[in-house]
Copies of this chain bind each other. A is one copy, B any other.
Amino acid sequence: MNKVIKLANRPTGKPVSSDFKIEEIKKPSPSDGEMLLKPKFVSVDPYLRGRMRDVESYVDPFKLNKAISSPIVAEVISSENTSFEKGDYVTAELEWKKYQLSNGNGLRKINPDLAPLSAHLGVLGLTGIAAFIGLTEIGVPKEEETLVVSGAAGAVGSVVGQIGKIKGCHVVGIAGSDEKVELLKSKFGFDAAINYKTTENMSNAISQAAESGVDVYFDNVAGDISDGVYQNMNNFGRIINCGAIALYNATSVPTGPRLEPMMVQKRLSMQGFIVSDYQEKFPEAVKQLAKWLKKGELEYAETIVEGFDNIPNAFLGLFEGDNKGKMIVKI
């Protein structure tokens, strides 16, 4: 039996269960040049929210009543394609289906001995690669500088902070629970961490945790949290806009303090960043991340939800802060 998860409605504000529907479909058979894939691990990510809107963007919007797709690790069940064999593991953006065909386009073979399969969706996947490239190419942190990371317990943030430590920075994380704050300090080696939910004055909290001011701000959330960080930026500080989860569900244009006077006065730079623009740097990033992982310099956290039917719930959980590290569904 095969199943598919489709987009039933375009969400207004925060997505809800009824925006998705699960249907039974036929299990397909590969023709010449094709193979049958069985997803084993499915990545759910905040950026998928953007694709649920019917607006032109850097990736096409999902179509109503069609399968949703996201990064997936799958097993090759049978193959009529000479480049792939039964038993191979591959990763790509695939559909939320229990079984699906592929002609091999866009598929990347993964080495299951390098790390657990799910790591290829996180620390060695797009989120780890985004952390590495965003921080090293745009943030360019120098030794003894201070790095602040928002969404720090997330899949990208937790890797950003650790790379910051490897690079010799003072690293401050912002997250949404005391448990996550503890995890950042104990597991990921952050120097300080702030629970934004119990912090009244974010600017004060940042200035205490980052006594020398903030040189690099890796931002996954935007909104009020970022306002507090901006106020503590040092001259020539760099801001990496990797995500804006605090604003993704907004139903009108969110407003906040205008940044331009501060940009000029402190000569800040701010740059929006999407990892898929840097495909040519992926192999180098994965190589470096795998090296750190092997040497034990890089920890990672996963929140694993079980069962195909729970993919939508796992996605909805991202907006409740349910995940520590990468949110993954095991099928």
**Residue positions of A touching B, CB distance < 8 A:** 50, 57-58, 219, 222-223, 226, 235, 241-244, 247-248, 253-274, 277
Given A235-B58, A256-B255, does the pair A271, B268 have CB atoms closer than 8 Å? Answer: yes
Measured between beta carbons, the chain B residues less than 8 angstroms from A260 are 219, 222-223, 226, 241, 244, 247, 272
Contacts of A58 in B (CB 8 A): 235, 265-267
B263 touching A257, Cβ below 8 Å: no
A57–B261 Cα distance when bound, in Å, is 11
Which chain B positions have C-beta within 8 A of A247? 258, 260-261
Determine which of B50, B257, B258 lies in contact with A265 in the assembled complex, contact meaning CB atoms within 8 Å. Answer: B50
Which of A50, A268, A270: most chain B Cβ within 10 A?
Answer: A270
Most buried by B among A235, A258, A265, A267: A258
Q: Decide yes or no: A264 and B255 within 8 Å by CB, A58-B235, A235-B58, A269-B269 being known contacts.
A: no
State the Cβ distance, A258 to closest chain B Cβ, in Å: 5
* A272:B277 contact, CB within 8 angstroms: no
Residue A254 contacts which of B219, B257, B266 (CB distance < 8 angstroms)? B257
| Interface pairs (27), CB distance under 8 Å | A50-B265, A57-B265, A58-B235, A58-B265, A219-B260, A222-B258, A223-B258, A241-B260, A241-B263, A241-B264, A242-B264, A244-B260, A244-B261, A248-B261, A255-B255, A255-B257, A259-B270, A260-B272, A262-B272, A263-B271, A265-B272, A267-B274, A267-B277, A268-B271, A269-B271, A270-B270, A270-B271
